[in-house]
Chains A and B, each alone.
Chain A
Amino acid sequence: MGGELRYEIAQNAYIKLVLHALKHKTSAVNGILLGRVSPQSDVVEITDSVPLFHSHIGLLPQLEISLILIEEHFAAKGVSIVGYFHANERFDDHELGGIAKNVGDHIYRYLPQAAILLLDNRKLEALSKTKDRSPVVQLYTKDASRTWKLVGSDGNQLTIKEPSANVVLLDYISTEKWQDVVDFDDHLDDISKDWLNPELFK
């Protein structure tokens, strides 16, 4: 009873999003977080993610189509949309921008525990040196004041399910695995490309 709501992200969901950001270094990227709220309502489990776009992120048509298709696909598995991932275009831009907040608001309407994860570029860059185990993202949630607030990283409110995820991530970075990530933009340009990335971690 009591205590704060925790967020736990699965390794593959996490790595997929970071690799997506690395594939498109010169633009902002975003993605959808999927999962469920635990039966005791104390943990939001982010079990999967879908990388969305790397261009024209502020436009609605592609976002709407992607959300319809994603929701439909995952509903069959009892998994729903639990949050949004965003990576800013510039390295030293740590702000949660308007677009991210708008998408977050939309998801919040269906799930008040919705989370926004913002890529922390500095933390990602320093990862090979710090060997940090915590995720290279910042967590934002909406509190009673109805604004998106940064959740302090000192508490363990966001953890990666598999503790060695960053080690795996660094390995993938060294082998340029980001080349294999397919996002919704890629799918819309060529529908034979699968935004589910089924072969990515095989």
Chain B
Amino acid sequence: MVSKTEETQLNRLENQVDNGGGGAWEYLCLVRKLKVRRSEKVLKYGLSILNDLKKRSSLGSEEWTLYEQVAIAAMDCQSLDVAKDCIRLLRKAFPESKRVGRLEAMLLEAKGSWAEAEKAYSSFLEENPLDQVIHKRRVAMAKAQGNISGAIEWLNKYLEIFMADHDAWRELAEIYVSLQMYKQAVFCYEELILSQPTVPLHHLAYADVLYTLGGLENLQTAKKYYASVIDLTGGKNTRALFGINLCTSAIGQLAKGRNKEDKESLELQSLAATALEKDYKQRAPEKLSLLTTALKSLKVSS
């Protein structure tokens, strides 16, 4: 997962390269470090370096890292000929390499030769059962073939071994949400909050799923977690501010007649509303009146 500063830095570098300001190699290194998916750009700029003899030789041994990065990007963009060439060159340079073998198996997957790829991945895992990349390729293959329940099964098995893999937990949660299996998604986000309690995105996603599940208890918990997002982000998270309003409104409708919680929750709701209005006034003034009407419709009528 990438922080906002890292993403801004990456986008700035990307814009620079896009506009001819150089820095392609730095960009490619940053993409690799942050493990983000920008395959079209990686393919374009990676190839521009690899196809230029001078640029390529100035990389020294890093040339092979670039071939690997471009091969994977090429497979993602379905430029299979480019991928094949890169892999062939890597194979020549490293005839015994398992790492290249992995790329060759991934090429089978990219071509859609599912059975052969599955065989290759299985044999890799037999020799090295702790190869995280191959485990995840198997999940990805199941997903690509539309075998979502298979993907869930493989991913759960993976998480039994690698339970600290936050990205995997997030992937599993997102798959559950896409299938409307909200209770299972809740479990994933709980794991994430336990292991990374100060990452606001986990709290936000957790709150969103709880709200979606509905019911008084879930709504009250959701509100708490929206509040903790606001706490962790210094009040700057628009979604959490909206979330507070939605929760208060929904709770109000469900708990009609129970006056105990009203005062505090109304205060929190109007604080959130005020924060939103202040932000919109500054950054999206043409939408301010729309916002005010919307927030009014969410106000609990006492």
Contact = CB atoms under 8 A, between A and B. Distances in A.
Interface residues of B, number: 33
A69 B286 CA distance: 13
A62 B239 contact: yes
A61 B239 contact: yes
A144 interface: no
Interface in A24-79: 26, 28, 55-62, 64-65, 68-69, 72-73
Interface string A65-98: 1001100110000000000000001101100011
Instruction: State the main secondary structure of chain B at its contact with A.
Output: helix
A105 B141 CA distance: 32
Given A59-B212, A61-B242, A191-B280, A98 B180 contact: yes
A68 B284 contact: no
Interface stretch (B21-29, B59-67, B290-298): B290-298
A56 B239 contact: no
Nearest to B207: A61
A8 interface: no
A72 B293 CA distance: 8
Contact of B208 (A26, A28, A62, A72): A62
Nearest to A198: B286
B246 to A, nearest CB: 5
Interface string B128-168: 00000000000000011010000000000000000000000
A56 B297 contact: no
A191 B283 contact: yes
Contact of B238 (A90, A92, A191): A191
A58 B242 contact: no
A92 B146 contact: yes
Contact of A64 (B37, B174, B246, B290): B246
A192 interface: yes
Contacts of A192: 283-284
Contacts of B243: 61
B209 interface: yes
Interface in B261-298: 279-280, 283-284, 286-287, 290-291, 293-294, 297-298
Given A60-B211, A64-B246, A72-B290, A194 B284 contact: yes
B291 A69 contact: yes
Ranked nearest first, the 5 interchain pairs of A and B with the lowest CB-CB distance are A60-B212, A191-B284, A192-B283, A58-B177, A59-B208
Interface of B: 37, 143-144, 146, 174, 177-180, 182, 205, 207-209, 211-212, 238-239, 242-243, 246, 279-280, 283-284, 286-287, 290-291, 293-294, 297-298
